[in-house]
Structure 1
Amino acid sequence: MTTVHPIILCGGSGTRLWPLSRKSYPKQFVPLMGQQTLFQACAERLRGPGDNPFAPPMVLTNAAFRFIVTEQLAAIGIDPGPILIEPDGRNTAPAVLAAALHLSASDPDAIMLVAPSDHVVPDSAAFHTAVAEGVRAIAERNDLITFGITPDRPETGYGYLQLSTRPDGNGKAQPLGRFVEKPDLETAKAMLTDGSYLWNSGIFLFAVRDILAAFQTLAPELLAPVRTAVDQAQTDLGFLRLDPAAWDKVADISIDYAVMEKADNLSVVPYSAGWSDLGSWSAVQELSDPDDDGVATSGAVTAIDCRNVLLRSEADAQELVAMGLENVIAVAMPDAVLVASMDKAQDVKQAVTALKAKGAKQAEQLPVDHRPWGWFESLVIGDRFQVKRIHVHPGAALSLQSHHHRSEHWIVVEGTAKVTVDDEVKLVSENQSVYIPLGAVHRMENPGKVPMVLIEVQTGSYLGEDDIVRYEDVYARS
């Protein structure tokens, strides 16, 4: 029985769904559709069917997201395979090649299922059937497999796959005719009418030996630096950090450009059971169960006499009220609000570019800052003071640290904190507080089995996050 090895790619920054998705915490880790995040839904889907489960997933991500990955997998009861840390984003070709080289060391005949972490595929059973068809095609012909989505509209935001013949609906793998770049609207309409074009999903299936042979033939310049990056990778708290010096020599190129568009043994499995890459807010609106007037809402929202709108409030204490709107996207965050015409949904990343140009921190940073031990958010910031809410996971601990420019007051509001201040260690319970003088070596821990929450009041001449001297850290941060 063939074992499928899922490879989950989750290093992207997700600017097209700003302001909810930002570089510091992109869309794959956000519960956009329901309670689970897109990454968690992907991992659940890649468990495989019950009678033939897939291998534990290999994950490729970056250093900033490594603890988010393990935390979100643990929350749904998935023990992952290797988690490879890319020193920098180099697009999908180097990531896929690194996964193939790592997997080849233990199983050169393995089947790799490569999937982005931020797609919506609602019918897992149909997806598993499509994967099984791809496995069959690999066994018969050693093909490289991609999955093509049956289009239901003339979409200009996706690339296309043209099949050699029009699909007959049986879901069988078919030879690929050619790749087609994102078309204009008139071309997309003609493709939809033609019937032989499918959307390019960016999901792939191949045997390790076959994809390595394809890289050797079609993109040999990638092999040496990526192989060195894998061979010289260093273990770090259960993660595998690819060698940064070797990785720095790797070209930034997609798997489509590097291999797929040049390969002569590529087949497509047509898939028509529902799929979206959630590449725009208009796609989110379509999948958010809009009412008969096309009104899709999330959070504390009141809509009056609106048509074809997406309204989301991402703060419990913030009510979003819309009146008489049509074809509008409105997404309200505590620190930023997006209001856009629905026909500009594909252009939201231009807003991020404009914000970065003016130096606005909202371009990339969420008001909530996620850390390995939990998260914090700034509630009030003044000239010489800052008030934060800090959430520490059960059993987690902040680093042993000191500050040059600020002192701190901690007030525990939920749970119990174990606090170290120089040579003193004590427990601080709800409604109790502790003072951390300027320069004191201190640490905060949560010894309990429930989250611990405290309010931190900082005072001093400089309150930046870089004013931290770390002496010990269980998460091996410098």
Structure 2
Amino acid sequence: MIHPVILCGGSGTRLWPSSRKAYPKQFAKLLGKESLYQSTLRRLSGEGFGPPLVMTNETFRFMASQQAAAIGLMDAQVVVEPCLRDTGPAILTAALMLERDEGADALMLVAPSDHVIADVPAFLSAVRQGVDAAQTGALVTFGVTPDRPETGYGYLELTAKPNGSGAAIALASFREKPDAETAAAFLAAGTYLWNGGIFLFRTGDVIAAFEACAPQLLAPCRAALEKGAEDLNLFRLDLDAYGSAEAISFDYAVMEKADKVSAVPLTCKWSDLGSWDALWKEEGPDANGVSTNGAVTVIDCADSYLRSEEENMHLVGLGLKDMVVVAMRDAVLVAEKSRAQEVKDVVKTLRAAAAPQADDYPRFHRPWGWYETLCIDERFQVKRIMVHPGGVLSLQSHHHRSEHWVVVSGTAEVTVGEQTKLLTENESVYIPLGAVHRMANPGKLPMYLIEVQTGSYLGEDDIVRYEDVYGRG
């Protein structure tokens, strides 16, 4: 049996504005009706796979659980990293957990949560080839057979050319992202693969590799696991212990130093969706080189990508060439397609200007559901709120605002002071300033309501929590 380990803590910025720190690309529905994270879970489930182990952070812990449950994976184990320490400590901690529970011979397949692999049977065939090598004690990585001189990926240098059998080949070296001339030389040589960031090994072998190559990580990761605790349906690593581990990638910590490393060629179509031009390719450009997503009209455009994230926002492209245009409610990106890799620098500029759009998503996700602001002024704010079936907001009060709730779909259980009552569609309730209150969804369907806030201060930090089923302070 193979035990999937899904790395799900990243907050990539190269697909801004659709991907932001508060809601990164692995959870977004960039392609199709499921998120990249959900597609990854499906790809690594079923016959031959054990329950997935999901390594994520504090911000995404509930999102990871909810999206797994939404596709029927109720046995996913979500592990909360209390601080960011890169992939080295994350993979080591996962290996220690699996060794404890499954033994030193347990196979673990480590994969990012935000990659696109269309040909799942071909990918699983490559995994089976990797199993053969891993059973001999090798640390196996998976490299994508390049079809162009790509400068946006790191490379794996093989000791021999792939012979078409798909078998693992000993690795000569890891190579950083090259310039265009070097990338062309790599492609011509035939002994280089794109570094896919996917790994397979036995738990005992990778722990031994850490002991040899990065022994300083063992003690803090073991302590973080031993001092960790169950928290609701999650497992939370100990903050002090995990925080004392060096922040280092798995490649730097182990793979570039280990003795027995092999690579399995992946011949299937693959993308890490690392830029908007990558998504342009995945969407499938038409005869004019144009890809679109959402409510978009194209007139006399070529070699461009146009995307509208809002149902009520119709994006029109007129006479565009080699452009990327992405429209959201609170931000619009207009860029030359050739400069798509520079979008991450846009986010740095916005952060320097303290623009909330740099990191905040227009829809704020919470463990109970989500909310979005429809209108805001100096002394009032109008929100739309969705509460999942069974979702419960914290028991709380506010110092500076009162609220009026109108249920527009579903059923709400509302507590104001000592009184609790049920509200259905088109019923409302007023929450005076300072009143202790709570709402919940006791029904089987999502509940939607409109909230109107009025007061002298409308910030989200004006919340006094008395009780919270999700353990938030």
Normalising by the smaller structure, the TM-score range is over 0.9
1:185 aligned residue: 180
Is the deviation greater in 467-476 or in 6-15? 467-476
Counterpart residue type for residue 119 of structure 1: H
Secondary structure of the equivalent of 1:439? coil
Matches within 5 A, 1:105-116: 105-107=100-102, 108-116=104-112
Match in the other structure for 2:13: 15
Residue matched to 1:432: 427
Question: What is the distance in 1 between the residues matched to 2:179 and 2:75?
Answer: 41
Is 1:268 the counterpart of 2:266? The answer is no
CA RMSD, Structure 1 to Structure 2 (Å) = 0.8
TM-score scaled by length of structure 2:
0.99
**Residue type of the alignment partner of 2:398:** H
Give the C-alpha shift of residue 428 in structure 1. 1.2
Q: Secondary structure at the match of 1:101?
A: helix
Aligned to 1:233: 228
Counterpart for residue 449 of structure 1: 444
Cα displacement (A) at 1:466: 0.9
Shift of 1:307: 0.7
Structure 1 residues 124-160: Cα deviation after superposition (integer angstroms, max 9, x where no partner): 1111111111111122x31000001000111001000
1:5 is aligned to 2:7:
no
- Tell me, yes or no, if structure 1 residue 277 matches structure 2 residue 299: no
SS of the equivalent of 2:444 reads coil
Give the letter for the 2:112 counterpart: P
How far does residue 35 in structure 1 lie from its aligned partner after superposition? Answer: 0.5
Residue number in structure 1 paired with 2:389: 394
Query: Aligned equivalents of 2:101 and 2:468: distance in 1?
Result: 33
Deviation at 1:240, TM superposition (A): 1.0
Q: Is the 8 A contact 1:58 1:80 kept in 2?
A: no
Cα deviation, residue 80, structure 1: 3.0
The answer to whether the 8 A contact 2:65-2:76 is kept is: no
Deviation track 1:106-130 (CA, whole Å, cap 9, x = no partner) reads: 1221001000000001111111111
CA contact (8 A) 1:156 1:184 kept: yes
Query: Counterpart of 2:264 in 1: which secondary structure?
Result: strand
Amino acid paired to 1:228: A
* C-alpha distance 315-227 of structure 1, shift in aligned 2 (>3 A): same
Specify the alignment match of 2:125 in structure 1: 129
After TM superposition, list the pairs within 5 Å mapping 1:451-470 onto structure 2: 451-470=446-465
Task: Give the equivalent residue in structure 2 for 1:39.
Answer: 37
Structure 2 counterparts to residues 283-432 of structure 1, below 5 A: 283-432=278-427
After TM superposition, give the deviation of residue 251 of structure 1 in Å.
1.0
TM-score normalised by structure 1 residue count: 0.98
1:82, distance to aligned residue in structure 2 (A): 2.5
Q: Please give the residue correspondences for 1:21-100 in structure 2 after superposition, counting only pairs within 5 Å.
A: 21-48=19-46, 52-100=47-95
Q: Distance in 2 between matches of 1:467 and 1:112?
A: 45
1:432 maps to amino acid: E
Amino acid at match of 1:384: R
The question of whether the paired residues in 2 share the 8 Å contact of 1:63 and 1:86 is answered with yes
SS in 1 for 2:304: strand
Q: Tell me how far 1:53 sits from its aligned partner.
A: 2.5
Letter matched to residue 118 of structure 1:
D
Distance 1:84 1:429 in 2: 37
1:218 aligns with 2:216: no
Note the alpha carbon deviations across 1:212-269, whole angstroms, 9 max, x for none.
0000000001111111111110211021111110111111111000000011100000
Percent identity between matched residues is: 60
Alpha-carbon distance, 1:447 to partner: 1.2
CA apart distance, 1:293: 0.8
Q: For 1:100 and 1:78, how far apart are their aligned partners in 2?
A: 21
Distance 1:123 1:275 in 2: 9
CA contact under 8 A between 1:412 and 1:430: conserved in structure 2?
yes
Partner SS, residue 394 of structure 1: coil
Q: How many residues end up aligned between the 2 structures?
A: 472
Q: 3-state SS of the aligned residue for 2:39?
A: helix
**What secondary structure is seen at the aligned counterpart in 2 of 1:106?**
helix
